[in-house]
Chain A
Amino acid sequence: MISSYKTLNRVLVAGTAIAIALLYLFPLFARTTNNPSYYLQIVSVALCSAILTISLNICMGYGGLMSLMHTGLQMMGGYAVAILTLNHHWNGWLALVMAIVVGAVFAVLVILLSLRATYLYFGMITLAVNLIAMEAIRQGGSFTGGYNGLIGVMAPGITTTMMTPQAFYVFLLTILIGVYVIQRNLVFSGFGRNTMALRESPETATALGISPNVHRVKIFAVSGALAGLAGGLLSMQLGYAMSEIGDLGSGLIFFVGLFLGGISTLAGPIIGVAVVATIAFLIRGTAQYNTLVLGGLLLLCMVVLPRGVVGMYRYSRFGSPHVREFDQAEIDSFQLDISVKDVVKNQILLESHDLAKHFGGIHAVDGVSIVFRSGEVHGIIGPNGSGKSTLISCLTGYYPLTAGSVEILGNPAPKKPFLISRLGVTRVFQIPHLFERESVLDNVLTGMYRRDRYSIFDAIFRTPRYRKANARSTEEARALLALAGLLNQQDLTAGSISHGQKRLLEVVRAVATQPKILILDEPATGLRQDELDVLKGLISRLAKEGMSVVLIEHNVDFLMNLADIVTVIESGKVIAEGTPMEVQKNEKVLDAYLGRTDFSKELA
């Protein structure tokens, strides 16, 4: 199985290399056909489309932001080039750079205006913006050439005034490969992981210290920049800029390509565009039936290949990643320092005073004062609905307080969850909030967000700074995985590992944020005994290293063995606090948990 996987992998790598080589040689091949310039043209245009589709993939696939304005961005990139070279006689290369700038700036403006809008509404804003941009171009008079557009755009030259179509083709192909690499670097970087984290679960991402808005702006800016580039290149290939380029109807190919190839996959946009361009080429003779055939094929593809070509492959036996076997020596060789810095033993890290949270008339949390100390495992128990999770949400800034106060490291707690997270308070949710489509290793790396000290440019171009930081993070993440016995699974997608492993992974990811306080909401639910043992060992180790571990748990057996102190909550109030033994014998606690024994009369 594994060997067949490796063979296939080699075949794929070799196939890709051959495909790239063939693509570079395509102009020579085209020359042997009866219509060289035409074949060069359609492949060149497809290359531009692939760049735009990658941009769309970054935005919709990885960023989860629905954009109906990418055709508009493409149009604007084209006009940037056309206006600068034709009206202002700029150098073509500089004009291309400006196309990138125009795309990025426009995208940033749009998203800054619409940060509050979510999902569908954001999509509608982009649609509106697209219409506005097209209308503005049409009304632009001689500046934009109005309805007629600007004709006569030329490819830039190196030694001559203008590249030959063959040279420009090679240039386009190189750019596409570059854009693919940028996409890959972005996706595999901390920035990319965080973006996907945000898409999959804004809540968890926030808990890991990621600021949603800053990320959305950045991802949209990158996407806009690439769309501007694609538009600039297209205008050079076609020789003109026209408002119709911005029409959503003409942009169908991008959406179709994205879904056919596989959204949220790296190669999906390129393969998808290749498929669509081929289909368009093959059915070009159907004339009046053109859109009918296209629409029909599209629906058919969605039914047969609902995840797209690459997506289906990824989900297949061959395409999904496999367990990597590490031997014990390798596992032992990892060096890991997880001691909590700047903290003394038994220091008060977080405390609340008379904290209350009311939802309408319901007093979910009703005057709770609680103290978490370093090096301590603090259990919180209570029947369902007693207010434990609400309490945690209050402590970590997810709910505004009705009354009372929270102090972290002696200072009043900030209001935003991601700011609290950045002070060293990391929360693991009750329901698994893993980024299921990302690998186990990537999930842990996402947790290292706060440590990443490189910019988005470092990530895109893989600067030494990025490489160094990334190597260090990866090493550390592996060490953490080794600690939880998950090293062999590092390449698997988080969605494919067992339930118990997922819970462990979540804890590991939280530890990766280097918290001072780690809050675990029912981590033991559904774990097998051996997994429980690993979890127990991990938690003890963390406490020993000086961390304050807060444990909300129903598996009291598990908790009682581990906790230094247990707080019992019922109906939003603390009803008991003490060592596990004390609490277990407390009658009030038994009543709260099991109900009273003397109901029979009252029930009658």
Chain B
Amino acid sequence: MSNLELKNLTITYGGAKALNGLSIEVKEGEFVALLGANGAGKTTSLRAISGLLKPTTGSIRFGGEDITKLSGYKRVALGIGHVPEGRQIFPDHTVDENLQLGSFIKRKSYKEVSQTLEEMFGLFPKLRERRKQMAGTLSGGEAQMLAIARSLMSRPRILMLDEPSLGLAPQMVLEMFRYLKKLHAEQGLTILLVEQQARLALQLASRAYILERGQVKIAGLAEDLIIDKRVAEAYLGTSH
């Protein structure tokens, strides 16, 4: 059902083609990684899916509906969750307030919100300890947890994460990916992960796309790609 499908998407951004006929697909319950060097178009893809960027050509379908022209904020109600690059938590809001903003679309069902909130605190116990604290005072790892939890508050059917490991200590990265794995395994959440640490992402995901210059360069199963030399090349260049 929650089948996300990008077809032939082109986005021009400041004169450059950030996406150049990109086509990818994410099926319900899948864990897909979107990899590639900087500037390959990963972040642009996610921003297009959540409606922050308007494509010049191509279409986006979600759950059988064409959402290419739909306003960004309405897509959240359809079940698209987006954890943006750099976390973008609201530093002047408390942890609680950040989470409640995440449940904006569910604001009318108070019970469901408080239930989800409890769930989140169960999932990320550290956030419970800090719930009255200003989000700006959280450490990098906690802030990333908060960003994920905030997005989950809208009970999305698909969760898109943009470089969640960025700027985190290795231990924190591990902890965070454990949560992601748990979410995927236990709740059957569909995940689309944009990640710099390709090997790590490939160990989590079932399938991956490697992007280059706004197009899919390689697509395949994670277990195949993890030993594919071309992946390392996409990052570190051809060995000489």
B219 near A: Cβ within 8 Å? no
A502 touches B163 (CB 8 A): no
Partner pick for B200 among A500, A571, A599, CB 8 A cutoff: A599
Q: Are B38 and A384 in contact (CB-based, < 8 A)?
A: yes
A126 to B92, CA, bound (A): 31
Q: Tell me whether A603 and B174 are in contact (CB under 8 A).
A: yes
Give Cα A600–Cα B37 distance, bound, in whole angstroms.
23
User: Using Cβ atoms and an 8 Å threshold, which residues of chain A touch B236?
Assistant: 556, 584, 589-590, 593-594
Interchain Cβ contacts under 8 Å between A and B, 19 examples: A362-B140, A499-B15, A502-B14, A522-B38, A525-B38, A526-B18, A526-B213, A555-B37, A555-B237, A556-B235, A560-B240, A584-B237, A589-B236, A593-B235, A593-B236, A594-B236, A597-B199, A599-B177, A603-B178
Leading 5 A-B pairs by shortest Cβ distance: A499-B16, A557-B237, A595-B197, A595-B200, A556-B237
Give per-residue flags for A580-604: 1 if the beta carbon is below 8 A from chain B beta carbons, else 0: 1100100001100111110110110
The answer to whether A497 has its CB under 8 Å from any CB of chain B is yes
Contact present for B181 and A499 (CB under 8 Å): no
Are the CB atoms of A383 and B37 closer together than 8 Å? Answer: no
Rounded to whole angstroms, the CA-CA distance of A602 and B176 in the bound complex is 12
CA distance A443 to B169 in the complex (A): 41
Shortest B214–chain A CB gap in Å is 9
Q: Tell whether, in the assembled complex, residue B200 and residue A385 are in contact, meaning their CB atoms are under 8 Å apart.
A: no
Give the docked Cα–Cα distance between A362 and B37 (Å): 25
Binary contact track B168-189/A, C-beta < 8 Å → 1, others 0: 0100001001100100000000
Bound-state Cα–Cα, A255 to B240, Å: 62
Q: Which residues from 481 to 520 on chain A have a C-beta closer than 8 Å to any C-beta of chain B?
A: 495-502
Q: Using Cβ atoms and an 8 Å threshold, which residues of chain A touch B37? A: 554-555
Contact (Cβ within 8 A) A361 B139 = yes
Does B115 make an interface contact (CB < 8 A)? no
CA distance A456 to B236 in the complex (A): 50
Shortest distance between the CB of B147 and any CB in chain A (Å): 15
A73 to chain B, nearest CB (A): 38
What mask results when residues 540 to 566 of chain A are scored 1 for a CB within 8 Å of chain B, else 0?
Answer: 000000000000001111111000000
Contacts A495-B15, A500-B16 aside, 9 further interface pairs with beta carbons under 8 A come to: A385-B167, A556-B237, A590-B236, A593-B197, A595-B197, A595-B198, A595-B199, A595-B200, A599-B203
**Which one of A495, A526, A590, A600 contacts B232 once the chains associate, using CB atoms below 8 Å?**
A590
CB contacts (< 8 Å) of A502 on chain B: these are: 14-15
Q: Does A432 belong to the interface (CB within 8 Å)? A: yes
Chain B interface residue count, CB cutoff 8 Å, equals 37
**Contact yes or no, B237 A594, CB < 8 A:** no
Per the bound structure, the CA–CA distance linking A51 and B90 in Å amounts to 47
**Residue in A384, A498, A589, A603 whose beta carbon sits within 8 Å of that of B203 in the complex:** A603
Instruction: Output the least CB separation between B233 and chain A (Å).
Output: 8
Q: Once bound together, how far apart are the Cα atoms of A580 and B240, in whole Å?
A: 9
User: Are the CB atoms of A599 and B174 closer together than 8 Å?
Assistant: yes
Contacts of A384 in B (CB 8 A): 38, 163, 166-167, 196
**How far is A571 from B171 in the complex, measured between Cα atoms in Å?**
13
Question: In the bound complex, what is the Cα–Cα distance between A554 and B15 (angstroms)?
Answer: 21
The yes or no answer to B39 lying at the interface (CB within 8 A) is yes
**Can you list, as one digit per residue, whether each of B224-240 has a CB less than 8 Å from chain A (1) or not (0)?**
00100001110111111
The contact of A497 among B15, B201, B237, by CB within 8 Å, is B15
**How many contacts A-B (CB < 8 Å)?**
92
In the assembled complex, the Cα of A361 lies from the Cα of B169 at a distance in Å of 12
Q: Judge whether A602 and B174 touch: CB under 8 Å.
A: yes
The answer on a CB contact under 8 Å between B15 and A603 is no
Residues of A within 8 A of B (CB): 361-362, 383-385, 432, 495-502, 522, 525-526, 554-560, 571, 580-581, 584, 589-590, 593-597, 599-600, 602-603
**When the two chains form their complex, are residues A603 and B181 in contact, meaning their CB atoms are under 8 A apart?**
yes
- A-contacting residues, B111-151, CB 8 Å: 139-140
Using an 8 Å CB-CB cutoff, how does the interface string of B62-80 with A read, 1 for contact, 0 for none?
A: 0000000000000000000
CB distance from A357 to the nearest CB of B (A): 14
B218 within 8 Å of A (CB atoms)? no
Is B14's CB under 8 angstroms from A432's CB? yes
Any A CB within 8 A of the CB of B204: yes
- List residues of chain B with CB within 8 A of the CB of A554: 37-39
Which of B16, B174, B178, B239 is most buried by chain A, counting CB atoms within 10 A of its CB? Answer: B16
User: A559 and B200 in contact (CB under 8 A), knowing A384-B166, A599-B174, A603-B178?
Assistant: no
Q: With a CB–CB cut-off of 8 A, which chain A residues contact B181? A: 603
Residues of chain B in range 35-53 having any CB-CB distance to chain A below 8 Å: 37-39
Q: How far is the CA of A501 from the CA of B16 in the complex (A)?
A: 10
Contact call B197/A383, Cβ cutoff below 8 A? yes
Chain B residues, Cβ within 8 Å of A361: 139
Q: How far is the CA of A361 from the CA of B138 in the complex (A)?
A: 11
Q: How far is the CA of A38 from the CA of B203 in the complex (A)?
A: 84
* Bound: A497/B14 CA distance, A: 9
Let me know if A584 and B235 touch, CB within 8 A. no
Which chain B residues border A594 with CB–CB below 8 Å?
197-200, 231-232, 235-236
By beta carbon, the residue of chain A nearest B232 is A594
In the complex, what residue of chain A is closest to B181 when comparing beta carbons? A603
Nearest A residue to B173 via CB reads: A595
User: Which chain A residues border B238 with CB–CB below 8 Å?
Assistant: 557
Nearest chain A CB to B21 CB, angstrom units:
15
Q: Chain A residues near B233: list those with CB within 8 A.
A: 557
